[in-house]
């Protein structure tokens, strides 16, 4: 048995191990997976002095309540998250983008994400995990990844293989900004939709449905009318693709999406806006704004610069 471990008092709603995901497997039907919000994932690891591809715990809405057993351990939480740390009888509020030291018998209670979906917990050490196709990323629908492809469950243990001696306190001044518009490049089947449907797609707001998860985000709003065919020959998908099935309600493919799909693609969310897209909670409104490929590439460079700038401040 491992000397250092977390005891899970409450696992939370959907807590899974994630890293940068696994590539080169779409052609056999295995999704990319990986952390949904890439920037917050990277920041969690960087704050703690880890490599950029180290496993973290991703949680959605309600996170895990953990009791720690072992030697001193440094932790960092990123996202927009409320959490508490209990040391003996002393209960303090935690802060995101800042490291905290856990000692034997301390408790970390990740209560909830605020107005966002995903948060990340990184530790100054290595989780004891079995990787699958070189990644810990857990896809619970396909039972792929660490923890036997399952989300964390109550009363289980999370073993820590090794603790880094890095116990320095690091802080970053960063606030997750909200996004009003999600920028989109027209999809390969854009002309399958009526003129009104196309206009409405970029003019109206859509509501994020409760039926959204790591696989996809379903939207509700004015139906988008298809005038050619509600099916296409099945073909490859990528994350960010917006498909419109026969019912006229768009579905956005997210990190655990099926690798092949047969619904017309009205658009694709640009890479620079993906992190913000996945953080939209059910019930919130989203509006799409059209951009071209050049702008999308420029916006991605800006996004990358901003991320690098944040990392350099750590």
Partner 1 sequence: MIKNISNLGDAALYCDFGKEVNKEINTQVIKYFKTIQKKNIIGVNNITPSYNKLIISFDLKKINFTKLKKIIDNIEIIKSDNIQNKKFEIPVCCEKEFSLDIKRLEEKLKMTEEKIYENFFENEFFCYMTGFIAGMPFLGDLDENLRAKRLDTPRVKVPKGSIGLTEQFANIYTFESPGGWNIIGNTPLNIFDSTKEKEPNLINPGDLVTFKRISKENYQNYHE
Binding site for partner 1 (CB under 8 A): 23-30, 32, 132-133, 142-144, 185, 187-188, 233-238, 240-241, 258-261, 265, 268-271, 293, 296-297, 300, 304
Helix (H) / strand (E) element for 76: namely strand 73-78
CB 250 within 8 A of CB 206: yes
Phi, psi of 312 (to 5 degrees): -70, -20
| Dihedral over Cα of 39, 41, 42, 43: its sign | positive
Distance (Å, rounded) from C-alpha 178 to C-alpha 192?
32
Q: Minimum Å distance from CB 300 to partner 1?
A: 5
Phi, psi of 206 (to 5 degrees): -115, 155
- Is the Cβ of residue 32 or residue 97 nearer to partner 1 in the bound state? 32
Q: Minimum Å distance from CB 215 to partner 1?
A: 12
CB 191 within 8 A of CB 227: no
CA dist 83 to 61, 88, 125, 187, 306, Å? 12, 16, 20, 40, 26
Q: Minimum Å distance from CB 259 to partner 1?
A: 4
- Is the Cβ of residue 17 or residue 68 nearer to partner 1 in the bound state? 17
Q: Minimum Å distance from CB 63 to partner 1?
A: 28
- Is the Cβ of residue 48 or residue 272 nearer to partner 1 in the bound state? 272
- Is the Cβ of residue 220 or residue 229 nearer to partner 1 in the bound state? 229
Distance (Å, rounded) from C-alpha 148 to C-alpha 138?
8
Q: Minimum Å distance from CB 149 to partner 1?
A: 8
- Is the Cβ of residue 61 or residue 133 nearer to partner 1 in the bound state? 133
Q: Minimum Å distance from CB 136 to partner 1?
A: 14
- Residue 203 CB partners (closer than 8 Å, separation 6+): none
- Is the Cβ of residue 119 or residue 187 nearer to partner 1 in the bound state? 187
- Which structure tokens are listed for 29? 């039907």
Distance (Å, rounded) from C-alpha 50 to C-alpha 47?
8
- Is the Cβ of residue 141 or residue 157 nearer to partner 1 in the bound state? 141
Helix (H/G/I), strand (E/B), else coil: 282: coil
Q: Minimum Å distance from CB 50 to partner 1?
A: 19
- Is the Cβ of residue 91 or residue 238 nearer to partner 1 in the bound state? 238
Instruction: Please give the DSSP secondary-structure letter assigned to residue 226.
Output: B
The gap from C-alpha 185 to its chain's centroid, in whole angstroms, comes to: 21
- Is the Cβ of residue 222 or residue 307 nearer to partner 1 in the bound state? 307
| Dihedral over Cα of 217, 143, 83, 162: its sign | negative
- Residue 82 CB partners (closer than 8 Å, separation 6+): 93, 94, 110, 111, 112, 113, 114
Q: Minimum Å distance from CB 296 to partner 1?
A: 4
Q: Minimum Å distance from CB 294 to partner 1?
A: 9
Opening angle at CA 45, ends 43 and 46, nearest 5: 65
């Amino acid at each position: 048995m491992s000397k250092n471990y977390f005891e899970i008092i409450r696992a939370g709603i959907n807590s899974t191990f994630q890293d940068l995901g696994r590539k080169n497997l779409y052609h056999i039907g295995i999704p990319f997976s990986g952390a949904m919000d890439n920037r917050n994932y990277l920041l969690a690891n960087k704050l703690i002095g880890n490599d950029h591809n180290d496993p973290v715990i991703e949680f959605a809405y309600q996170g895990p309540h953990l009791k720690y057993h072992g030697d001193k351990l440094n932790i960092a939480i990123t996202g927009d998250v409320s959490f508490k740390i209990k040391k003996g009888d002393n209960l303090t509020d935690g802060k995101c983008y800042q490291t905290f030291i856990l000692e034997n018998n301390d408790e970390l209670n990740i209560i909830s994400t605020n107005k966002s979906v995903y948060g990340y917990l990184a530790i100054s050490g290595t989780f004891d995990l079995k990787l699958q196709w070189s990644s810990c990323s857990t896809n619970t629908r396909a039972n792929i990844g660490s923890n036997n492809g399952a989300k964390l469950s109550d009363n289980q243990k999370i073993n820590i293989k090794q603790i880094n001696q890095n116990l320095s306190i690091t802080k970053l001044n960063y606030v997750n900004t909200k996004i009003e518009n999600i920028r989109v490049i027209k999809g390969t089947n854009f002309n399958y939709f009526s003129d009104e449907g196309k206009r409405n797609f970029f003019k109206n707001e859509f509501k994020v449905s409760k039926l959204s998860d790591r696989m996809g985000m379903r939207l509700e709003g004015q139906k988008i009318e298809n005038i050619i065919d509600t099916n296409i020959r099945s073909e490859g998908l990528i994350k960010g693709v917006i498909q419109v099935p026969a019912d006229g309600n768009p579905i956005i493919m997210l990190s655990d999406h099926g690798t092949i799909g047969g619904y017309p693609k009205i658009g694709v969310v640009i890479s620079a806006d993906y992190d913000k897209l996945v953080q939209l909670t059910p019930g919130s409104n989203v509006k799409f704004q059209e951009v071209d490929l050049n702008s999308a590439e420029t916006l991605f460079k800006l996004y990358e610069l901003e991320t690098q700038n944040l990392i350099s401040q750590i």
